[in-house]
Amino acid sequence: MFQKVRIRLTLLCSGIITLLIIIMSFLYLRISENNLYRNQFYSFQNDSNTIIINLEQQSVITMEWLSKMEAQGNYQFYLLDNGHPFLYNTLHDTAPAENRAASSSDGNTSVSKSKTSSALSDIFGEAWTYYESTLPQDSSLEEASSLSPYTAWHRTFSFTDSGKNDYFCTLITLERNTSQLQIMILSSLAGLEKQIREQRFLFLLIDSFTVALLFLFSFFFTGKLLAPIEESRKKQLSFVAAASHELRTPLSVILSSLECCHQASPDEVAGFLATIEKQAALMKSLVNDLLTLSASDSGQLVLSRSTAELDTLLLDTFEAFEPLAARKSITMSVSLPEEALTPYSCDEMRIRQVLSILIQNAISYTPAGGHIHLALSVRNHQYLFSVADNGPGIADADKEHIFERFYRAEKSRNTKGHFGLGLSIACEIVTAHHGHLWVTDTNGGGSTFFIGLPC
């Protein structure tokens, strides 16, 4: 069950974060690509303006200058002088067909306004057609015309050819006296599109790697998250099973005694009723212990705090158990601080319950002729109770588990009337007082339990 929950939580967590990563990557790529496109367009515009300025300052346009301008910006020029193509255009158009195709992909082709020119390039022809048919009706694709002292104007736009290739194009018109020079500059966006594809592929790799790491982290994190819950469930199931087992034993004795009562003589019935009463008392004690632990687990273990004299509380508990110890030939002693103690705010009944559990355990496991010593002191800013006996002691392996529910050391498993809940209850009560309960070995044999309550 927990494995399915873990997988579902992993998928849910990684799925949500993956969706956020994809959205953020998409937004970033969209902004980045728009900026790249805009920057290249502005760069092309600036280069076009620079070329216009150079043209205005020259009276003669040489092929060397044109080739130099093309090489610097990776552009392609096409020129018309009063509607007639330059010889420079013919040199481009007479290049081998495969070179023209290659240059077409890079944007290095030419266009002519004359539709009958044998040197008309397909790409420049499409650019000119697009300019004539589309731009006048679509102002959003048109740059504002700029006039110069030399009666020069230009228009920059973008278009897509029939091969789905994108270009930037600038049409420049220079008029001097009665002559007119037209220049079309074409710049391919293949390089920009390649850069965008590489950027998208890089983000795809980064996102894929991030999602893989995220999935592994989510799987590990949900495992850590569910581990305490799974452990708690195991303890709960173990607790219920142990409680059922402990309740079944006295219940079986009660049912057996009731069955015997129907067949027993009046004199024998009294003995069976006494057995039933004893087992019922054990069941009541177990149920009360279970309710206490249940309240602690649910955070409903309420402490009725009041001011208490801890030395008086210990002395009263000592006097209450001294007759019980004497019946087992066990001696008891108590030592209290010489100085008066400050009244302590606690649940007096609960602290008395803890002391009673520890003393009762000591009496149960201390053999006849043994000794139990109770003490109260103030050390390291805490009130320290101790209950020491010289019984069989507790093995080191058992010390780690004696505060677990229904746990009983091997030597005490056959002891009737103990369900292994007393120390668990004592630990819960002390913890509710922000204290600490632990056990050590008594010098000479036996066990010593300590209760530390913060001053």
Q: Are residues 191 and 130 in the same domain?
A: yes
Q: Mind listing the pLDDT tens digit for each residue in 425-439?
A: 889 899 989 999 999
pLDDT of amino acid 92: 57
User: How far, in Å, CA of 247 to CA of 243, rounded?
Assistant: 6
DSSP state of 141: G
**Could you tell me if residue 74 is inside a domain?**
yes
Residue 254 belongs to domain with CATH number: 1.10.287.130
Q: Are residues 14 and 127 in the same domain?
A: yes
Confidence of residue 311 (pLDDT cuts 50, 70, 90): very high
Is the pLDDT at 12 greater than 80? The verdict is yes
Q: Are residues 316 and 413 in the same domain?
A: yes
Q: Are residues 97 and 46 in the same domain?
A: yes
**Could you tell me if residue 208 is inside a domain?**
no
Q: Are residues 370 and 399 in the same domain?
A: yes
**Could you tell me if residue 206 is inside a domain?**
no
Is the pLDDT at 60 greater than 50? The verdict is yes
Q: Are residues 119 and 243 in the same domain?
A: no
Q: What is the mean pLDDT of residues 43-53?
A: 86
Angle at CA 143, nearest 5°, toward 142 and 147?
130
Q: Are residues 341 and 438 in the same domain?
A: yes
Confidence of residue 150 (pLDDT cuts 50, 70, 90): low
Confidence of residue 224 (pLDDT cuts 50, 70, 90): confident
User: How far, in Å, CA of 406 to CA of 337, rounded?
Assistant: 35
DSSP state of 112: -
Angle at CA 61, nearest 5°, toward 55 and 65?
90
pLDDT of amino acid 418: 55
Instruction: Beginning with the edge strand found earlier in the chain, give each strand of the sheet holding 84-85 in spatial order.
Output: 84-85, 76-81, 179-188, 166-176, 152-160
Q: 276, 297, 318 — which closes off a domain?
A: 297
Q: 146, 161, 195 — which closes off a domain?
A: 195
Angle at CA 430, nearest 5°, toward 424 and 434?
135
Is the pLDDT at 101 greater than 50? The verdict is no
User: How far, in Å, CA of 111 to CA of 104, rounded?
Assistant: 11
Is the pLDDT at 321 greater than 60? The verdict is yes
**Could you tell me if residue 212 is inside a domain?**
no
Q: Are residues 159 and 176 in the same domain?
A: yes
Q: What is the mean pLDDT of residues 184-190?
A: 88
For 275, half-sphere exposure in the C-beta direction (CA atoms, 13 angstrom radius) is 18
Confidence of residue 96 (pLDDT cuts 50, 70, 90): very low
Domain count, the chain: 3
pLDDT of amino acid 246: 67
Confidence of residue 138 (pLDDT cuts 50, 70, 90): very low
Q: Are residues 17 and 160 in the same domain?
A: yes
pLDDT of amino acid 335: 94
Q: Are residues 332 and 435 in the same domain?
A: yes
Q: Are residues 158 and 12 in the same domain?
A: yes
pLDDT of amino acid 208: 93
User: How far, in Å, CA of 179 to CA of 239, rounded?
Assistant: 104
pLDDT of amino acid 409: 60
pLDDT of amino acid 103: 38
User: How far, in Å, CA of 443 to CA of 445, rounded?
Assistant: 6
Domain of 326 in residue numbering reads as 306-454
Phi, psi (deg, nearest 5) at residue 280: -65, -40
Is the pLDDT at 164 greater than 50? The verdict is yes
Q: What is the mean pLDDT of residues 13-35?
A: 93
pLDDT of amino acid 111: 35
Confidence of residue 448 (pLDDT cuts 50, 70, 90): very high
**Could you tell me if residue 318 is inside a domain?**
yes
Q: 250, 275, 297 — which closes off a domain?
A: 297
User: How far, in Å, CA of 375 to CA of 385, rounded?
Assistant: 6
pLDDT of amino acid 336: 92
Angle at CA 266, nearest 5°, toward 263 and 269?
70
Q: Are residues 271 and 334 in the same domain?
A: no
DSSP state of 59: S
Q: Are 391 and 367 in contact (CB under 8 A)?
A: yes
User: How far, in Å, CA of 446 to CA of 362, rounded?
Assistant: 9
Determine which of 149-158, 189-198, 253-262, 277-286 has the lowest per-residue pLDDT on average. Answer: 149-158
Q: Mind listing the pLDDT tens digit for each residue in 102-126?
A: 333 343 333 333 333 333 457 777 8
**Could you tell me if residue 215 is inside a domain?**
no
Residue 438 burial (CB count, 10 A): 13
**Could you tell me if residue 57 is inside a domain?**
yes
Residue 10 burial (CB count, 10 A): 20
Q: Mind listing the pLDDT tens digit for each residue in 229-288?
A: 887 777 777 777 767 766 777 788 888 888 888 887 877 888 888 888 888 887 887 787
Angle at CA 293, nearest 5°, toward 292 and 296?
90
Q: Are 63 and 96 in contact (CB under 8 A)?
A: no
Q: For 4-49, where are the E strands, in sequence order?
A: none
**Could you tell me if residue 204 is inside a domain?**
no
Is the pLDDT at 316 greater than 80? The verdict is yes
Residue 343 belongs to domain with CATH number: 3.30.565.10
